[in-house]
Structure 1
Amino acid sequence: MKLHLNVSGRVQGVGFRYTTQQIASEIGITGTVKNESDGTVTIEAVGTDKQINQFLDQLKHPQNPFAKVEHIEQQEDATIKDYERFKVVY
């Protein structure tokens, strides 16, 4: 499954991208995470249905006490390339 995610809430300046990278790597998700100028974070995530569901569950309830996810907009996107690993994009 290939998903494009847009995460809103308190997700910039609190280590959310690095926490996301750690979660993705532990689960086996590949893709990218990037801060956007509107204060949201975009994620391209590639993995099995089970991996993606586990990833989404963990994103909704971040272990990082400084982050607060208010909404995750998700859309399947078959055009997302296959990544070798999960990385933070600047």
Structure 2
Amino acid sequence: MLIAKKIIVRGRVQGVGFRYSTKNIADKLGIQGNVWNETDGSVHIEAQAESDAMSDFISKISMSPSPYARIDSVDSKDIPINEHLHRFRAL
């Protein structure tokens, strides 16, 4: 079943390769969506995938895909599916 999530990651996640590492994980898992930095220092992810892939994605993000990042919190909530997404982009 295809699901979509809005994920907010807080900690030391900007300027440490976190978006690039997140994109690599998304590409390996077949995740569609976008990741970008927010002005408050967090990283915002909107992603959609099959539920098993999404669980794996969130788990890997929570363990910090970048060796220089530090994750303080990962919050996610369901959002509507975006029919126009066909790949994952780091913005």
TM range (shorter): over 0.9
User: Are positions 1:7 and 2:42 aligned together?
Assistant: no
**Given the superposition, is the C-alpha separation of residues 65 and 30 from structure 1 closer, same or farther in structure 2, using an over 3 Å criterion?**
same
**Given the superposition, is the C-alpha separation of residues 63 and 41 from structure 1 closer, same or farther in structure 2, using an over 3 Å criterion?**
closer
Runs of 4+ in 1 over 6 A off after TM superposition: none
Q: Which amino acid aligns with 1:59?
A: I
Partner of 1:53: 55
Q: Which amino acid aligns with 1:46?
A: Q
Q: Which amino acid aligns with 1:45?
A: A
What RMSD over aligned residues (CA atoms) do the two structures have, in Å? 0.9
Partner of 1:73: 75
CA displacement at 1:73 relative to structure 2: 1.0
Give the SS at the match of 2:67.
coil
* Equivalent pair of 2:22/2:65 in contact (CA under 8 Å): no
Partner of 2:45: 43
Q: Which runs of 5+ in 1 are unaligned?
A: none
Q: What TM-score comes out, normalization by structure 2 length? A: 0.92
Identity %: 36
The number of residue pairs the alignment matches comes to 88
CA displacement at 1:63 relative to structure 2: 3.7
Q: Which runs of 5+ in 2 are unaligned?
A: none
Q: Which amino acid aligns with 2:69?
A: A
* Equivalent pair of 2:19/2:36 in contact (CA under 8 Å): yes
Deviation readout 1:16-51 (Å, 9 max, x if unpaired) = 000000000000000000000000000001001100
